[in-house]
Every structure is written in C-alpha cells, then in structure tokens.
Amino acid sequence: MTTPQLVKRLSGHLSFVKLSALRELHQRIEKDAQAAIDAIGDVSVLVGLLSSCCRSTATEAAKCLAAIAAAAADVVIDARQRAAPADALVETDAIDALVEADAISGLLQQLSWPDLAVRVYVASALCSIATSRRQRVVVGVSMTSLLGVMARGLNGGDAAIQLEAATAVRELFAIEGVPPIQEAVDAGVIQPLVGLLSDSGRPTLQGDAACALANIATGTSEQTQAIVDAGGIPPLIQLLSSPDGDVRHQAVCALGNIAVGGPAARDLVLAAGVMEPLLKVLRESKKVSMLRSASRTLANLCSRQPPPPFELVSPAVPVVAELIRRPDQDAKVLRQGCLALSHLTYEGPDEAIEAVVGSGVCSRLVELMGGHDSHTVRRHALCAFGKIVAGSEVHTQEMVDCGAIPSLKALLSSPRRNVRKGACFAIFNIMRGNRDQVQAVIDSGVVPQVIIMATTDVPSVQKGALSVIINGVGLGSQAQVEYLVGCGCVGPLCDLLVDGIEVAILGGALVAIHNFLCVGEQVQARDGLPHNPYCDVIEQADGQNRISQLTHHRDENIRNYSSAILATHWNIMVDIDSDTDAGSDGTDSTNTSSDETLSEDNVE
C-alpha cells in the first residue's frame, strides 16, 4: 500500500482502521524519510485527528506529525550543512507545507491534552519545526514550555516517550546562533538527562542524553555547573567504556565541554577518574572524529590558569607523545596533542618538562614546528617547544640537539605575527641558558635577523626580539657581546630610545645599552684604551643624546634608569623632576628586567 493510500484510510469512519493506518504510517515514516516527505501534503488530516476522542488515535497522529516534522528538519539541516542550493525547494516543501496546513495551531491546541504521550509528541513536532526554521520560539508557546513538556516526558514517560523526548532535546541544539541552553536549564531537563545516562540497556537513549548535556555544557560556567550539581560527571565517565561508539563519543564531548567550564569543574572531572578511560579511548580508537574529540578533551583537562596537579595528568604524556609521533596523524589531532603538551609544561614543574622530554617527542615537535602543512599545527608545536626550552639547561640542550635553531630561524620570517612571537620566545629562552647555547644561536646566523625585527616589527614581536638581544648581551661572553656589536645592534637599539616607544620596549632597550657599556668597560681594560669604546659607538648612533632626553620621560623608571646610565658611563649628572606626569602610554612605571619583556601571552 502506498503512502497516499494509507493517508486516505485515515478519513474512514472505523476507529480500528484509522489506528492501524496511523501505526503503519508512523513505522513507514520512521524508516524512510521519503515517506515523510510524501505525507506532508496530507498533514491537515493528521492535525484533525489530534482532537480525536480516542486516546490511541490522538497519540498515533501526534507520533506521525512528530516524525514528519523531524524528517523535514533533518532535510533542512542537512541542506544547510552541505550548502546545497538544489535542496532549497525541498526545504520549502518540507517546512512550509506544515505551516500552510495550520499544523502549528493544531499542535498548540493539543499541548494541554491530559495524556503525557500526546503532549510529548506534539511538543517534539513543534521543536522540530522551530529547529528547521532557525527559531528559538514557536509563535504561541515559549521554548521553555516545550522543554518543560520534554522534561516531564524524560521523567515519567515509558521507553518510547523518553526516547522521543531525549531525541527532541538533542536536536533542539541544532538551532544556529544561540541554542536554547538557558531554557533547557530553566525547564529542568538536566536532572532527568543525567538519570538516563545510566540506562545501559538503551544506548540510543544514552547517546541522546549525553549529546544534549554536551551541548548544554557549551554554555556559561553557571550552566555547566548545573550539570555538575546534577551528578553528571560520574555517569559520563562510565560511558567512556560503553561498547557503543556514539555513546562513547558523546560522553567524550560532554566531559571536554565541562572541563572548559573552569579549573574547579576541570579538577572535579579529573578527580572522578576520567584519565584512565579517556586514554584508553585515545589508544584504541581508529576513527578520526573520535580522536579529534578525545584529544580536545584531553587538552582541556590539561589546561592552565592554574594548571591541574601534575600527578593527575602525568599518565597522558606517553599517550600524547605516541599520537604526535604517528607520521600520518590528522592535523586536528596533532594540534590538540601539541596544545596538551604546551599546557602540561606551562611554568613547570620540572617533572612535567622532564616527562615530556623523556617521552621522546622532542624531535617530532621540531619537525612539526618547522615543516607541517598546517600553520595551526606549527604554531601549537612551537608553543610546546617554547615551554620546554624555558626549563633547565639540560632540557634546552635536548631541543638544540634536535636541530631546533635552524627551524626557529625559518619561523622568524613567517607572515604570521603569533609565529614570529613564538619563535622569538623560544630563542629568548635558549639564550637564557649557558654560553654554549648562546653560541649555538649566534652560529646559526639568526642574530642579524633578530636585530632587524627588534626595530621594525610590530610592538609585540619587537619585545621578543629585544629580549633575545638583552639575553645575549647580559649572559654572553665578552666575545659574544662583541659579535652582537659587530652585527650592528647598537644603532637599531638606539633608534628605539624615543619618547613615543612603548614603555616596556623602551626599558628593555635601556637594559641592553647598559649591558653593552659594561662590556665596553671590559674591552677598555683588556686593550688598555683611554675610554670606553662602546660609548663612542652609542654616541655615533645619537644614543647619548636620546638617553639624555629620556631623563625627562613621563615614566619615572625610564627617567631614573636613563639618569643612572649617564652618570655611570658618561659621568653626567641629571636633576630629575619627580613631579613629571604619567607616561605617554598611560602608565607610571616600567620593569626593565629582561625576564619580563616577553610574557606568555606573546606566544599564544
């Protein structure tokens, strides 16, 4: 029997004939989306049956309308995702036919039906219409009211009603823009959704519930906390071991989104024992989609500000290292893996950096940051690399031995500001090591390029390049400092000694000038010269005159430091006006320590 023939039987007078036809129509629509599309032209008949005095007839009619609306919504959403113009007519037919048949008003009238099953299926149909039309509100009823019906269905319905309600809630979050997260919280759907996570006999229901919770967890920290307060973390962790792939995937996404809610939520997920089953998923999964989601969740669990206790996340290091080492690994998985390593090594502890170095991943990081096709992979690998070389000299040497410096030199020419900043940060940290490591940077030929960047790049990159020079001057040997002078760094640094330069950069330049002059005194003593030769170099670059002008700078620290340089190296005493107004950049102080000239924010 064709679908039109079935619909025709709905107009008969015998109740059992109508009921049989409705049930067969519902089964057909559930199995075949085309059958749903074929039935759209006759939805007015189904709407009329909603008011039947027969409870079973009204329920089956509501089921059919809910299935038709869901199928129509799927067609629309799929067309949008594929951006397929050819589907525009299907979209109009599928949705507008429901509206033109006055289905919405008919459905609204049945929301007060005393039978819960009818109300749930009616609300489900209205939710599907809202989803397909990108609306948070269906005229005549609020989304909170519809979700309230769903909450009652999740709580008190039979298996079929619970599944219908869970599926409808899941699909509601397909609304583009701002999904109805707060309405879901206000309607009380979270607690019953959490309860359904433990229904191991119905994996489809578990997957729908986990997916809905994952979407709610993308909201504010307060909305995420509602899931935590409802006891959602333990059952979600249990689902990481589910035999059903979709259930595992949705649980992974939900836990990752909860972890983003803040350090407190993240630490609760870790304390509940997420790491072991999550790492098992990463080790055993073959699907790229699962690896992407699981690696993202792992990176969220390792996130900093503040970082979690290392003992809770340390088991992740060898698993992440193995993911990154795979030569054919997906770019998004690589990006999240590098991000996890970056989080793990953020500001130590030394044991974290030691664990990462010991995992054998260093050479792969150097390879990724220097040659991967994806710029996001290169940037995240560079960030992880920068954290490692911020550790001990031994850790830094491990990276130098992997051939890192030539890769960093190439990255200094990147058109991307963040990459140039990251490369400067890494070289800066290498230059903080021993003099052999300073020499390795010098031998690479990177110094002339850094000098140019210190004067011509954007301010955030200038800070990093300037820090490299300051470390070279402050920590290098006399011969190494003389090399820097020979590369012509004094002139460009003196060019920075003007009032309009950002205070942090200006302070760093003064530190470098002072360090140069101190080395010049050593050269003077070694060669028996009558005066400091570097004073002449700085004077020729108009540096002394510029420093004199800075004694009237609006920033107190700049004034004081400039005056101290003049007094120490030129024996010029300056009377500083302590009542000078605040600095030209709106600040009234600066820290000229080289350790502060490049912050973590300049890397990420």
Q: What is the mean pLDDT of residues 49-65?
A: 81
Domain ranges of the chain: 1-177, 189-275, 445-604
pLDDT tens-digit series, residues 411-439:
999 999 989 999 998 999 999 889 999 99
Q: What values do phi and psi take at 138, rounded to 5?
A: -95, 130
Tokens representing 129? 């219409």
Nearest-angstrom CA–CA distance, 257 and 281? 17
Peptide bond into 349 cis (omega under 30): yes
The fold for domain 189-275 equals: Leucine-rich Repeat Variant (1.25.10)
The DSSP letter of residue 574 is -
pLDDT tens-digit series, residues 542-557:
999 999 999 999 999 9
Cα–Cα distances in angstroms (integers) from residue 594 to residues 384, 429, 474, in the given order: 22, 11, 9
Tell me which of 6-20, 366-380, 393-407, 507-521 is least confident: 6-20
In DSSP notation, 423-465 reads HHHHHHHHTTS-HHHHHHHHHTT-HHHHHHHHHHS-HHHHHHH
The fold for domain 1-177 equals: Leucine-rich Repeat Variant (1.25.10)
The C-alpha angle 420, 422, 426, rounded to 5 degrees, equals 115
- As a whole-number percent, the residues of the chain with pLDDT over 90 amount to 53
Nearest-angstrom CA–CA distance, 215 and 192? 15
Tokens representing 587? 């600040």
Cα–Cα distances in angstroms (integers) from residue 329 to residues 288, 296, 377, 504, 572, in the given order: 9, 14, 11, 41, 63
Cα–Cα distances in angstroms (integers) from residue 59 to residues 49, 107, 150, 161, in the given order: 9, 12, 15, 11
Nearest-angstrom CA–CA distance, 420 and 411? 6
pLDDT at 77 over 70: no
Amino acid identity of 480?
Q
Query: Do 400 and 390 meet the contact criterion of CB atoms below 8 Å apart?
Result: no
pLDDT tens-digit series, residues 508-539:
889 889 989 999 999 999 999 999 999 999 99
The pLDDT score that the predictor gives to residue 95 is 62
Same fold, 1-177 and 445-604: yes
* Alpha-helix residue ranges (DSSP H) falling in 552-599: 556-569
Query: Do 467 and 424 meet the contact criterion of CB atoms below 8 Å apart?
Result: yes
Helix (H) / strand (E) containing 79: helix 55-82
Nearest-angstrom CA–CA distance, 338 and 346? 12
Q: What values do phi and psi take at 580, rounded to 5?
A: -60, 140
DSSP β-bridge partners for residue 141 = 138
pLDDT at 186 over 80: yes
Name which of 68, 91, 67 is nearest 79 in CA terms: 91
Name the pTM for this structure. Answer: 0.81
Right CATH number for 445-604 from 2.60.120.920, 1.10.150.120, 1.25.10.10, 3.30.70.1290? 1.25.10.10
Name which of 120, 141, 116 is nearest 130 in CA terms: 141
Secondary structure class of 599 (helix, strand, coil): coil
